[in-house]
Structure 1
Amino acid sequence: MERCGWVGADPIYELYHDTEWGVPEHDPRALWEKLILDGFQAGLSWITILRKRDNFRAAFAGFDPEIVANWGEAEVARLLQDAGIIRHRGKIEATIGNAQAYLRIRDAQGFDRFLWDYVGGAPIQNHWASLAEVPTETPLSRQISQDLKKAGFKFCGPTIVYAFMQAVGMVNDHVVTCHCHEGVSRLR
């Protein structure tokens, strides 16, 4: 079975690639969680985040933005002591602010709609022959990044946003030889 070349032979990566990556996600809370985790990944490998994902979920109240939005310095201090997550003050504080921004967007139009409207509600279907063709950012990821920042989000640069778009299926970037490409393309 052929997979995208970034997967390697790690069972955690294989499972993530085969069951989550590129599958269109519309649950607003799950979208927020994935955006936050992509922000924590900045400067690190994605496998590091995957291995700590359950710890992040426990530390951040199941990624419930209603709860996280009300946190302050006491919670930041607690999280900075949690060896199960990435202990980066800026990313932790950004997560709290991002929860507040999420709630504003959710209340104004819905977080899922806010994001999926950029792609007309359906994933962009790419047909890359190799990983070398897959971009790290696009004009669309730059626009979404800019709009998220205007809304109050942090740690959401264009590269992070493009990785997020790939992860949540806003774009199908499985290479055409990957066993997931065709199946994901039918999920639109």
Structure 2
Amino acid sequence: MTSVRCPWCLSTPEYIDYHDKEWGKVVKDDQTLFECIVLESAQAGLSWITILRKREGYRRLFHQFDPEKVALMNEQDVERLLEDASIVRHRGKIEATINNAKIFLKIAEEFGSFSDYYWAFSDHKVLANPVTSMADVPAKTELSERIAKDMKKRGFRFFGATTCYAFMQATGMVNDHLLDCIARSD
């Protein structure tokens, strides 16, 4: 019997590993949520495999995704990062990462944690979609639009409704694994 996986992950070993071990698993740890925000925002307009292959560069250059350290980065850091090919060298995305770290910390302070703020949008529940083919998976939803709008109002950048939906999938708020996928758990 052949194991069934979501078809989007079948093209590379990196995708399969990410799919099997991370994608769609519930994330409530603030630092991991921040990592997902950074990576999903960096992905805008690019392929996810590009970001996965640069993940270690992001990890190294953005202080292991510690939002407190990233929030302290300055223009000199931006200029240095623009020269480092181990990440996507896009000024707007680099500056957004630093900006978003500051906003992330404000939200965490206001709500007790970023996780509490974020997961309240789904009433702290996983939204398990009955996905039988990738055609069933939307690019964005009313909920991703609502979350993205609130985050934008608070000052987030490079985080629209489509990026937000990918974030929701990655962090397990939405379960979009195929119903017969080996990584699906309901």
Indicate whether the TM-score tops 0.5: yes
Q: CA deviation at 1:177?
A: 2.2
Cα distance in 1 for partners of 2:26, 2:83 equals 34
What is the TM-score with the length of structure 2 in the denominator? Answer: 0.96
d(CA) in 2 for partners of 1:122, 1:47: 28
What stretches of structure 2 of length at least 5 have no aligned partner?
none
Q: Any gaps of 5 or more consecutive residues in structure 1?
A: none
When the two chains are superposed, the root-mean-square deviation of aligned CA atoms in Å is 0.8
Structure 1 runs, 4 residues or longer, greater than 3 Å off: none
Query: How far apart, in 1, do the equivalents of 2:77 and 2:94 lie?
Result: 9
Using the size of structure 1 for normalisation, the TM-score is 0.95
User: 1:128, CA displacement in angstroms?
Assistant: 1.0
The C-alpha deviation readout for 1:87-127, integer Å capped at 9, x for no partner, is: 00000000111010011001111100011011111110111
In structure 1, the residue matched to 2:116 is 113
Percent of aligned positions with the same letter in both sequences?
A: 49
Residue 31 (structure 1) aligned with residue 60 (structure 2):
no
Secondary structure of the residue that 1:6 maps to in structure 2?
A: helix
Please tell me the residue identity of whatever aligns with 1:23: K
* Aligned match of 2:57: 55
* 2:88 is equivalent to residue 83 of structure 1: no
Deviation at 1:70, TM superposition (A): 1.4
Provide the rounded CA distance (Å) in 1 between the counterparts of 2:31 and 2:154: 17
Q: Distance in 1 between matches of 2:159 and 2:83?
A: 24
Equivalent in 141, 144, 155 of residue 144 of structure 2: 141
For residues 36 and 153 of structure 1, what CA distance do their matches in structure 2 show? 11
Aligned equivalent of 2:180: 177
2:159 paired residue among 156, 163, 167 = 156
SS in 1 for 2:7: coil
